[in-house]
Structure 1
Amino acid sequence: MTSTFHSLEVGKRGLAAQQAALSTTGHNIANANTTGYTRQRAEMQASNSVSIPGMQIKLGTGVDVTKIVRLREDYLDVQLRGENKTLGYWEAKSDTLTKVEELLNEPSDDGLATTMDEFWKGWEELAKNPDSAAARAVIRQKGVAMADTFQHISQSLTQIQDDLKLVITSRTDEINSLATQIGSLNDQISRLVPNKFQPNDLYDQRDVLIDQLSKLVEVKVSPPDKDTGVVDISVGGVSLVSAKGPNKLTVGYDSATGLVDPAKILIGDTNVSLNSGELLGRIESYGIVGGDTKSIIPTINDKINALAKTFADAVNSIHQSGMNLDNINGVSTEKVPFFIGTSAKDLAVNPKIMNSLNLIAAAKEDASGQSSIGNGTIAQEIANIKFKPLAFPGSSSTADDYYRNIIGQLGIDSQEAQRLESNSEVIINQVENRRQSVSGVSLDEEMANMIKFQQAYNASARMVSVMDECLDKIINGMGRVGL
């Protein structure tokens, strides 16, 4: 026969198990709005039965809580992190392309295309009135507007690039900070798991950090070690976080060009190849050695510089072949270029022309080397540059068409980046919804569980009360016959 206190022990175990389940439910409810929290569940199992002497049966001894499990699907984590890096990459590219679009601001009434068109119109007016000081003043001012517009674009592109360099530094520091935090959590977890503790909340904190890291760089996360619970994280096949601790990511620059040098992107002392993520998107936007068209700002800057130089050279070539008022009047034989500078950054109207309108050439000399004040042939030839193909790097087109091609390609790239960013957001939202359906806290479900565990707790408490009454009868009521 079993002990008289057997049923009391069964009731006590029931109380303890239901109390643990209630506590877990309360923990879930308290963290219903905690970012990255994974709902938990108390796993119960019938405790070991005992044999009854003289009988071929085993008597149950109640229930035990074997563990508190996290309800999480590892596959969804892998899928979300895989899309997270793509989202981070295209967000970075889209952000830069949008800023460049806002800078060029085309089509508009004050963009480079309009300024260039006004410049050609100014030369047409000068061709009609080559002896007009007002027309000369207007074309000089139109030239100043052209140079200022090119300089503004160049300076703004440089500012965007400088800002990107700061962002690259910030993201690199953020990656190293996340790696350090994950390494610290690995260390805490490795101290608890071997002692049979279940650090579920530490697991959640680590997963949140890994999710954040996966948007910055493409990461590969190993399954948790069975003995220690530690995970290893690698980037491009190079270990960023291991059981030994975190390594440091650094981004280096080419001394000649100032662009990011792929050979100087290191984790520790090992070169790493970035395949995706926000950091790569920022690096490609800033400019990477050998990046070609992937380098957004350098590519656009090169095209704007090519436009400025080719445009200025075409104007100067014709301008210096003509005769200005000083040449016609015999005051001087000097012929000056209309523009100085070799790029958008330093393009400017010749200071000599800024000091004297007489140096603007509008006339074409005849066979005898003479001309007249009323001759506007050169001015018209400069105005006609608008319709003439010019030799740009890799192509031959008019200045207007070359600039429109820049704007058109920029628009296509921007739309593509926005489309891919939007696609990644849709996929991530779908995966996150699926992950929340598994790991998220449902208050309705938790309330139902709370009532269920409460009723079981009350029943176990009633069981203890009943056994208490039975024991009272045995202890205080038996053996008192006749008293």
Structure 2
Amino acid sequence: MTLFTSLQQSKNALVAAQIGIQVTGNNIANVNTPDYLRERVIYTPAPTQSYGNLRLGMGVQVEAVVQQVDQFLEERLRNSISDLANGETQESAYLQLEALVGELSDTDISTSLNDFLGSINDILNQPEDVSVRNLSVLRGQTLARDISRLYGRAKEVHTDLNKQIKQAATDINSLLNDIADLNVKITTLEAGPITKSDAIGLRDQRQRKLTQLAGIIDIKGVEQENGSTSVFLGGEYLVIDGIARQVETKSVAENGFNNVKLTLAGTDSPILASSGKLAGMITSRDAIVGEFMNNLDDFAQTLTFEFNRVFSSGQGQTGYQTMTSEFFIDDALSDQPLDQAGLTYTPTNGSFKIFTQNLQTGLKNTVDISVKLNGLPDDTSLQGLADAISEVDGLTASISLDGHLQIDSDSQNVEFAFGSDTSGVLAALGLGTFFTGTSASTIDIQQVLKEDPSKFAASKNGIGVDTDNAVEMAGFLDRPLDSRNGQTLDNVYAQLVGEVTQSASVAKSVAEGYRVFKETLDGQKQGLSGVSLDEEAVNLITFQRQFQAASRLISVIDELLEVLVNI
């Protein structure tokens, strides 16, 4: 071996140590960089050299700089990120609903409901005081407003989730394009014959993009032999090499809302995300917030119809001289039985009373009106009901052009009121009722009661006679409801709130489980791919000593060469 050969060996060792120091320094510099994968230098013996009959080594050389990464662990970690994003999104939706319901505050629905029914109790003590009846009307307005406000705020959450889902499509497309672009750059850089090193910085960027994409949808990333990563969602590919498929949005009418749906461009195939933030937002919009709004609608409908059934069977201090039904029946159905006329609330077979009194003579009259709904040819229609009411002395009933039932007194001295409705037809048509509307967003109070609280129907046996109907209304919260199979309104509301609070508790537990699992995988990744300052410090000292030793050997060879030249 010549001195020049030794000099080449020393040079190789010097370069190897220098690269080791650079890689170690890069690791230390990126100790706090998210998604950074630790780098390591792969050393290999340098090619040998012939010296006579001998094959002598040329020292060490750097074969590649690669990342410390376990692809299987990365895939599991991406799946855990998708699950966590899904769980936390649903948890957030439930927390928002809990805050909206506000059962631990003084502005919740149960408080308004108790205040309203409690105010009716005051009428029992002061039946002649119109201001007391007005208080009940005002408390009823507050209850209706609180229900409507709660629905409106839930709708805002629903709308916000819809906007987030639409934004998710934009984010997905941006990330898919970035991954496809990085695939091209990585394969181009790593395809060269000079080095076997990974495209370190580019791979870190792609890893970060894959992590962000996994937070939105539950992707599967498969690294190919050429270094590119193919991205799949279910059975559909999203990225192959440098090709990225785009995601489109479209609006679909569902349950009264224009919901955003995501599809693949070109095929119109739906994006079937089972995890990730997108799946969490869709579940939150449709199954959490949407279901809550449906349940709130159901509660409002139950309150409206069942309370109106009680209220419309009573009479106020004063009667009516004119009345128009809230709900209409299409002209083509006016001769059909009332239970087949398309009303929101369906009446049943029964009857109700009409009370009339002459304010001038004091003459009172009570007439029973039958409502036949037995499935027979003589079942009561809207026209038949109008004809029956018109037969009552002093009253005229007709159907307006827009399908509303109109009842008028024949004289300004005649007042009328209803009572003892066993058919529910008064509540179904909206005659002499307290609440108006058919949903949580439309619930309100009859305008005539706002203008004249004396018509608050506290009496049961005639206009201004007693307060028996007020007694029934005051205990309405615990009254078994026919439309709910004997459930009380208190049960219905408790079920509404209970579903939110119990489901919220479950969602919190599930999200916490996902957090713990992800932290476990993060710990495993840090153990393999994370940067340890202690370990890197040891490596730095090792490479430094290696560099110093190679430098010292070069210095000795230089001295020997100088001696040799001077001989």
Q: Normalising by the residue count of structure 2, what TM-score does the alignment of the two structures yield?
A: 0.77
Offset at residue 301 of structure 1 (A): 1.0
Classify the secondary structure of the residue corresponding to 1:325: coil
- Contact 1:238–1:267 under 8 Å retained in 2: no
Offset at residue 268 of structure 1 (A): 4.5
Classify the secondary structure of the residue corresponding to 1:332: strand
Classify the secondary structure of the residue corresponding to 1:254: strand
The verdict on how the C-alpha distance between 1:271 and 1:108 changes in structure 2, with shifts beyond 3 A counting, is closer
Distance (whole Å) between structure 1 residues aligned to residue 525 and residue 166 of structure 2: 32
Aligned to 1:92: 89
Classify the secondary structure of the residue corresponding to 1:34: coil
Aligned to 1:385: 476
- Contact 2:162–2:260 under 8 Å retained in 1: no
Distance (whole Å) between structure 2 residues aligned to residue 92 and residue 341 of structure 1: 33
Aligned to 2:372: none
Cα shift readout 1:163-215 (whole Å, capped 9, x = no counterpart): 11111122222122111111111111121111145311211111111111112
Cα shift readout 1:57-76 (whole Å, capped 9, x = no counterpart): 42111110011121112222
Distance (whole Å) between structure 2 residues aligned to residue 127 and residue 82 of structure 1: 64
Aligned to 1:234: 232
Offset at residue 91 of structure 1 (A): 0.7
The amino acid of 2:66's aligned partner reads: V
Larger fraction in strand: 2
- Contact 1:129–1:374 under 8 Å retained in 2: no
Cα shift readout 1:123-157 (whole Å, capped 9, x = no counterpart): 22213332221221111111111111111111111
- Contact 2:118–2:474 under 8 Å retained in 1: yes
- The worse-fitting range, judged by mean Cα deviation, of 348-357 and 237-246 is 237-246
Q: How does 1:349-428 map to 2 (within 5 A)?
A: 349-365=445-461, 371=462, 373=464, 375-391=466-482, 396-428=486-518
Aligned to 2:301: 309
Larger fraction in helix: 1
Classify the secondary structure of the residue corresponding to 2:40: strand
Q: How does 1:241-390 map to 2 (within 5 A)?
A: 241-255=239-253, 257=255, 258=257, 260=259, 265-266=263-264, 268-269=266-267, 270-287=269-286, 295-327=287-319, 330=359, 332-334=415-417, 336-365=432-461, 371=462, 373=464, 375-390=466-481
Distance (whole Å) between structure 1 residues aligned to residue 310 and residue 509 of structure 2: 45
Cα shift readout 1:202-247 (whole Å, capped 9, x = no counterpart): 1111111111111211111112x22x31110011221111114211
Aligned to 2:139: 142
Q: Identity percentage over the alignment?
A: 27
The amino acid of 1:10's aligned partner reads: Q
Q: Normalising by the residue count of structure 1, what TM-score does the alignment of the two structures yield?
A: 0.90
Classify the secondary structure of the residue corresponding to 2:77: helix
The amino acid of 1:201's aligned partner reads: G
Aligned to 2:38: 39
Aligned to 1:202: 202
Distance (whole Å) between structure 2 residues aligned to residue 58 and residue 79 of structure 1: 48
The amino acid of 1:420's aligned partner reads: V
Distance (whole Å) between structure 2 residues aligned to residue 320 and residue 417 of structure 1: 43
- Contact 1:119–1:142 under 8 Å retained in 2: yes
Cα shift readout 1:326-370 (whole Å, capped 9, x = no counterpart): 2367452155211111111111110111111121111112xxxxx
The amino acid of 1:308's aligned partner reads: A
The amino acid of 2:539's aligned partner reads: N
Structure 2 stretches lacking a partner, 5+ long: 320-356, 360-413, 419-431
- Contact 2:245–2:264 under 8 Å retained in 1: no
- Contact 2:184–2:242 under 8 Å retained in 1: no
Distance (whole Å) between structure 1 residues aligned to residue 156 and residue 48 of structure 2: 76
Distance (whole Å) between structure 1 residues aligned to residue 3 and residue 95 of structure 2: 80
- Contact 1:13–1:62 under 8 Å retained in 2: yes
Cα shift readout 1:105-124 (whole Å, capped 9, x = no counterpart): 01332210111112211222
Distance (whole Å) between structure 1 residues aligned to residue 464 and residue 259 of structure 2: 55
The amino acid of 1:209's aligned partner reads: K
Structure 1 stretches lacking a partner, 5+ long: 288-294, 366-370, 478-483
Classify the secondary structure of the residue corresponding to 1:86: helix
Confirm or deny that 1:105 pairs with 2:97: no
